[in-house]
Structure 1
Amino acid sequence: MESKLSFMEEIDQLDVLDTHTHLVGDRLAAKDFWEIAHYFWLNREMQAAGYPANAQELPENERIGAFLSAYQGSRNTLMNWVLTRIFQELYGIDLKDERSVLEADEAVKASHARSDWAQQAADQMQIRGFVTNIPEHAAFQGMRRNALVIPRIDGRINEWTRRIHRSTGRPFEFEAVGAELDELLASFTQKGYPGIMTTLPRYGSSANRVDGVRADSEPDEILMAIMHAISGSAERRGLFVQLFLGVERSWCGEAVPANDSERILKIAGLFDKYHCPFELVVASELNNLDVVQAAWNFPNVSVGGMWWFNFRASTYRDAMQYRLEAIPSMKSSIIASDARCIEWSYGKIRLVKRLLGEFLYERMASGWIDKELALQVAKNWLHDSAAERYRFYKS
């Protein structure tokens, strides 16, 4: 059997499709060191190690000192590992003292000024495409191709739900909304978008118990009726429906993960009734098995990348095992960087490739799969599965 290092290097050279980003086409690269260092996920871990919430207001020398202290105090965390690799591999810099931070800041400012930097960083990690949910952000300046657009409609869904619930004639208003959303999805088809994306709040109703809207329908029931209308329209229009689930914003001022044992069960009626493809992306650890069970039960359901609080090595390893043993690899994609600059897309995909390489090598060493199958699984999970669903063709 070949060495682990050799196998990991092969994984590093495989193509990637980054299925969920917040990249903006005219500002892909970070403008300075602090834009990378204050990325939300890292900043949470840094603040837990003592980094002040008002760090941006501090004089530069105090800010650097606070950063270095928190950086050292959080060296065991995953996002710290990613930050370290971003600067080691993209800039050749080890973050260790004030001088290195100042050097890193100058290096990032210099790369920001380069028109070819975003493409160079993407090529170094074999990232062949990116997805955005905002059409206005899709024109990726300085790159060989624009982002793929999967428009986000959760704002419209919330608006429709409130509108119907406020109406004195809810069934009639629901009919009007149904026509409106069908027209919207038809416009997406005409623009060549492959599908739609939405988050959903926690819902009390179930798809198998909702059939239209009554005069006394409550908001959760209206929401589920709208999801029926969306799924039916997507089926007619040849679109897939991508559902991002498991983040709750109603409990406090922060977004938090919410494990709900019935979250996927309550929408199984959609998968059963409509033949459009569904892709499930979850942020709550306990739902990782539920989405795999849904993909096992329903041929039109696939599972997507690890989102929000699921982006951790432990959840990745468990989820990869669930997926490997239960569903064909073309029904699973594992990349969703959630990045806001190209450097974090690079870094988070760097981490996923390492986790994937380690996982598959262990499965090979245990005799469950051979190398040919391991590489095929890796190709599908990193790129081909999502590329087929999204109709993303290599140029």
Structure 2
Amino acid sequence: MTSRTEEEKMAFYDRVMGMEVFDTHSHLVGDALGARSFWEIAHYFWLNREMQAGGYPAHAEELPEEERIDAFVAAYRATRSTLMNIAFTEIMRSLYGVTIRDAASVKAAIEAVKARQGDEGWAQETADRIGAKRFVVNRPEHAEFMHMRSPAVLVPRIDGALGQWQKTIAASQDPAGSFEQAAEEIRHNLEAYKASGCPGIMTTLPAYAASANRRYTIGPGSSSDEILMELLHEVCAGAERNGLFVQLFLGVERSWCGEAVPSNDTQRILKLSALFDTYRCAFELVLAAELNNLDAVQAAWNFPNVSVGGMWWFNFRGSTYRDSMQYRLEALPASQSSIVVSDARNMEWCFGKIWIIKRLTAEFLWERLAAGWIDEETALHTVEEWLYRSAARRYGCETVPTP
């Protein structure tokens, strides 16, 4: 094993940081891509969670601005080690040239963000800075990206409809008839998505006691979970007929309390495995719970039509990324893995979270390269697939990044 120099390491990092990216899940809105104020960046949900743990008031937006700035600075200092604080710091430093230290620097950041308001090229410039070429959204009205070179990729979100069908059937005097009506709607909707050029559909799933390897006859005694599982069979059958992929977001539960919480259900993916085995459509698994990361890799290892997606909600941490990347590198061809889910509501946070992902990826693959487990060609191929190419193929976009 040949020792590697610091110069070689920095050159490798630079190549990774310059690579192109496919963001497979965002909440971007096409006519409001850039942040409209500093506070839109500073109050991003994930950063705000960490800041509140550091003493930031839950309703800080109601404070007079001077008090809010002082509270923000105190919480910012208290959370300097957290991942979202690090991402926020990079956003301010790289995009706005401001280092947050005190109230004066926050005021400078407020003015710097304000100065970019109305700049039609800002969103594209920000995306270019981090190599972000394509973004996925789930609402048709958000997909037309203003002043960007490419529109968003629309992957319609069906969990709202899925939940409503489930409730309607469960409450019906004629569950079998209501189920057939829902099945017909599913068939119609998926045909319409295909006709409009959508590559796939997306849904979150709550906890479920039923399993896809059992088929349930829907009737008066059917449980809500049995209804859900039969609806999923209809969704997957429709996706197969129409050549759509199914993107499943798993691991967040909202029924235990007033907050969303992660749930490490050891049978979550196991109960879905009969769907992967039965239907020839492609599946992408996006996880929010750490202990399911290996389960997703095992599913992709067993079923060639399953891919592992990016890290979502409570899974977006450096430690979970590194563990999941190790699982993926050892078990899967790189073409079965995509790792970018920004979950961002403005382009600034797309930049910050993609910057984090790229840095973690560069560190992980350099360690494997320096230890002699892979060579540089393999490392670069892996990161290209993880960041861009695998998603581009799955989503029906360009297959090779531009030079």
Structure 1 length-normalised TM: 0.99
| Aligned position for 1:290 | 295
1:91 partner amino acid: Y
Report the secondary structure of 2:290's partner residue. coil
**Worse-superposed segment, 1-10 or 297-306:** 1-10
Residues 1:105 and 2:99 aligned together: no
Structure 1: distance between partners of 2:23 and 2:93: 22
AA partner of residue 296 (structure 1): W
What secondary structure, in the 3-state scheme, does the structure 2 residue paired with 1:286 have?
helix
Q: Can you list the C-alpha shifts for 1:128-150, whole angstroms capped at 9, x where unaligned?
A: 01000001101111111110000
Give 1:335-354 correspondences, 5 Å limit. 335-354=340-359
Instruction: Name the residue aligned to 1:269.
Output: 274
The reply to whether residue 176 of structure 1 matches residue 191 of structure 2 is no
Candidates 246, 249, 252, aligned match of 1:244 = 249
Query: How many aligned positions are there?
Result: 395
Once residues 124 and 223 of structure 1 are traced to their aligned partners in structure 2, the CA distance between those partners, rounded to angstroms, is 43
* Unaligned 5+ runs, structure 1: none
Structure 2 distance, partners of 1:83, 1:345, is 11
Structure 1 residue 112: deviation in Å? 2.5
User: Separation in 2 of the partners of 1:54 and 1:179?
Assistant: 45
1:50 aligned partner, one-letter code: G
Partner of residue 123 from structure 2, selected from 118, 126, 143? 118
Counterpart of 2:156? Answer: 151
In 2, Cα distance between equivalents of 1:97 and 1:328? 47
Name the residue aligned to 1:34: 39
Aligned to 1:308: 313
What is aligned with 1:24?
29
Task: Name the structure 2 match of 1:332.
Answer: 337
In the TM superposition, what is the alpha-carbon distance from 1:215 to its structure 2 partner?
3.1
1:163 Cα deviation (Å)? 1.1
From 127, 130, 134, the equivalent of 2:132 is 127
1:96 aligns with 2:123: no
Question: Secondary structure of the residue that 1:259 maps to in structure 2?
Answer: coil
| Distance in 2 of aligned mates of 1:380 and 1:160 | 37
Structure 1 distance, partners of 2:238, 2:355, is 38
SS in 1 for 2:201: strand
1:136 aligns with 2:109: no
* Cα offset, 1:209, TM superposition: 1.3
Matches of 1:266 and 1:162, distance apart in 2: 21
Q: Distance in 2 between matches of 1:97 and 1:212?
A: 63
The equivalent of 1:370 in structure 2 is: 375
Separation in structure 2 between the aligned mates of residue 68 and residue 294 of structure 1, nearest angstrom: 44
Give the Cα–Cα distance (whole angstroms) in 2 for the partners of residues 61 and 293 of structure 1: 52
Aligned residue type for 1:105:
I
**Residue identity opposite 1:9 in structure 2:** D
Q: Give SS of 2:109's match.
A: helix
Write the mapping of 1:211-226 to structure 2, written as runs, cut at 5 A.
Answer: 211-226=216-231
Gaps spanning 5+ residues in structure 2: where? none
For the aligned residue pairs, the C-alpha RMSD in angstroms reads 0.9
Aligned equivalents of 1:70, 1:176: Cα separation in 2:
52
4+ runs of 1 displaced by more than 2 Å? none
Q: CA offsets, 1:246-294, max 9 Å, x none?
A: 0000000000000000000001010011110011001000000000000
Q: Secondary structure at the match of 1:210?
A: coil
TM-score normalised per structure 2: 0.97
Corresponding position of 2:262: 257
Matched, 1:53 2:58: yes
Paired amino acid for 2:323:
D
Quote the Cα distance in structure 2 between the aligned partners of 1:28 and 1:130: 11
1-side partners of 2:319 and 2:117: how far apart? 34
Task: Give the distance between the partners of 1:112 and 1:381, measured in 2 at CA.
Answer: 33
1:306 deviation in Å? 0.3
Tell me the CA shift for residue 176 of structure 1.
1.6
Find the counterpart in structure 1 of residue 283 from structure 2. Answer: 278
The one-letter code of the counterpart of 2:351 is Y
Tell me the CA shift for residue 174 of structure 1.
1.2
Q: How far apart are the structure 2 equivalents of 1:97 and 1:172?
A: 64
Q: Measure the CA separation in 2 of the matches of 1:100 and 1:349.
A: 24
What letter corresponds to residue 39 of structure 2 in structure 1? W
> How far 1:212 sits from its partner (Å)?
4.1
Q: Deviations over 1:212-234 (max 9, x none)?
A: 42331110000000000000011
